[in-house]
Structure 1
Amino acid sequence: MIRLLALLLLLASPALAAEEMLMLPGPDGTRLQTRLCRPDTPGPHRLLIMNHGAQFRAEIRSVLVPAPCDSEPVDWFTDRGYAVAVPLRRGHGASTGEWMESFGPCEDPDFLRVGRETARDIRAVLEELLHHPGIEPDHAVILGESAGGWGSIALAAERPSGVAAIINVAGGRGGWAGGRARQNCAAPRLIETMGLFGRTARVPMLWLYAINDSYFGPSLAGSMFEAFTAAGGVAEMTVLPQTAPDGHFMFFHDKGSETWGPRVELFLRSLAPPVTALR
């Protein structure tokens, strides 16, 4: 009788929407616009939070929207059983609050502070969605591109609970200094800050950079990786072949998943327990 009642209650429960647009609580009373995309398989589903890069122009930030559920990277992960959250951080799109992602003057940047500010938004989304209906309460994956990757590494340094892995795609700050490709604001400080993150980061990480990244090329990325792992950080790094005209934007580039997808799947399957599902 109890089993029958439980089954009837389950059948009577409304199905969770395949897509939700949420306004989640953020730092300091703000609200973070977040698109949540669910697989078409029974839940609960493991969570993946996909974090965007930086946008310095206010007129562009104000009109941004979270990537749609049918965009290639989101679809790649939902096909593998993840519920994918695509948040906009403070000061972007419909998210409220002040934009906090300037690192200051190029000659004296504060990469540590800006990384921690980005991490605050990511953490807020994580902590809210791990208690959301249909989401597993642990084994989340954090993925960040460019400034989102930098913030994801900063989050790793805080040892967040409920996180199984972090994927850094072309992460960094201060690229294109003076309007020149592969010139970085205070590159030694960027590397030093990565070492600071590595002192306390213990979440398994995968770093992906493209050989033709105009912001953070293989040499600078390699120096950041060495500083991070030498300090104790746990990470693997792969330099991928040219995919897009500028490899910095490979993640959302058309058919980009054909290049980064196999490496991501291998990484996720290597974890214990694996945090990917067969299609």
Structure 2
Amino acid sequence: MRLLNTLVLLPLLALMTAPPVCAQVTFGPSGAEGDPFRRQEWRVPSPDSDIAAHALLFRPSGAGPFRLAVIAHASTQNGLRRAQMPQPEYRALAAFLVARGFAVLVPERLGHGATGGGYVEDQGGCDEADYARSGRVTADEIFRALDYVRMQDFIRKDAAIVIGHSAGGWGALALANADPKAISSIIVFAPGRGGHANDEPNRICAPHTLVAAAAEFGKAARIPVVWLVAANDSYFSPAFSKASVDAFRRSGGTADFRTLPAVGSEGHWMIETEAGVKAASGELARALNQLKPAATRTP
């Protein structure tokens, strides 16, 4: 019994003495039928060397290597709401991807929930909003997590995909300038910043600045993007999203824009729900089947 207790304690002691970045710490239950398999809690790098970001990893059965899908979560400028955010999970979307052979990473970014730390992706107020800088910082956080996990032996080193939602989608757009061999495609759901300004639906903080930043991201884009928005999105409506897509394309980015059916009372959160993933499943499947690694473009 003493030997058994020692063996049980060894992994815990290793975690206690390890540096902030470490591998999975907990295996979750498989859950009910249809849930993602092999749910694990991980710690991944963040821009703060003293803080390892919390993350969830879902893995298909088998040893792999699997293609990696990274889901980048939404955010808020409200510090109290960020601190109270539960661990992003996107369970239905993760299940959809795991069923198609992807290992799925959902990292939590600095300044959110249990990860804590400084909120490095702050865009500032309306008068001085710097959406381009905010997006690039978010992109850096996404890539740090992606790059760490793709070094694991059960993950393919190439052809990862990034799926971003709202502010996470905005960061994913900024990440379209990455190496197309590492990231083959990007899918974004209602990407943007500054929506619901002052908590008012259909009001965006400095909308022209946001469109200009989308154009800036398009100039350096090397990875194709699928841009999706629900018909009843009151943060970044289909009409506004189309203007942002057009700016992204005009400056050189490749984007396939689709409007999805209205889901629930607020379509902005559709991809967090089972009904939303079901409504988006056709476009998601088409994107996964058709998007190929892009040819390298000179920035």
Quick one: distance in 2 between partners of 1:68 and 1:25? 18
| 2:83 and 2:116 in contact (8 A); partners too | no
TM-score of the two chains, using structure 2 as the length reference: 0.81
Find the residue that maps to 2:252 and give its secondary structure: coil
Taking only aligned residues, the RMSD between alpha carbons, in angstroms, comes to 1.9
SS in structure 1 opposite 2:123? coil
Query: Distance between the aligned counterparts of 1:169 and 1:258, measured in 2?
Result: 14
Give the 3-state SS of the residue equivalent to 2:53 in structure 1. strand
Please give the per-residue CA displacement for 1:231-262, whole angstroms capped at 9, x wherever unaligned.
Answer: 11011010111012111111012321221111
Shift of 1:20: 2.0
Residue 245 of structure 1 corresponds to 265
Q: List runs of 5+ in structure 1 lacking aligned partners.
A: 1-16, 274-279
Does residue 206 in structure 1 map to residue 245 in structure 2? no
Partner-residue secondary structure (3-state), 2:57:
strand
Which residue of the partner structure matches residue 33 of structure 1? Answer: 54
Out of 158-167 and 29-38, give the one that drifted further.
158-167
Question: What secondary structure, in the 3-state scheme, does the structure 2 residue paired with 1:237 have?
Answer: strand
Partners of 2:185 and 2:292 within 8 A in 1: no
Q: Which is bigger in relative contact order (C-alpha 8 A, separation at least 6)?
A: 1
Partner of 1:257: 277
Alignment match, 2:133:
113
Amino acid at match of 1:216: F
**TM-superposed deviation, 1:159:** 4.2
| TM-aligned CA deviation for residue 62 of structure 1 | 2.8
Structure 2 CA distance for partners of 1:59 and 1:176, relative to 1, 3 Å: closer
The corresponding residue for 1:13 is none
SS of aligned partner of 2:105: strand
Equivalences for residues 1-279 of structure 1 within 5 A: 18-29=38-49, 30-68=51-89, 71-159=91-179, 161-272=181-292
Question: How far does the alpha carbon of each residue in 1:43-87 deviate from its partner, in whole angstroms, 9 at most, with x for none?
Answer: 111100011101333333234343448x21111111111100010
Task: Give the match's secondary structure for 1:208.
Answer: strand
Secondary structure of 1:27 counterpart:
coil
TM-score, normalised with respect to structure 1: 0.86
- Inter-partner Cα distance in structure 1 for 2:89 and 2:169: 20
Q: CA–CA distance in 1 between the matches of 2:47 and 2:74?
A: 19
How many residues get paired? 257
The secondary structure found in structure 2 opposite 1:49 is strand
- Alpha-carbon separation, structure 2, partners of 1:193 and 1:56: 18
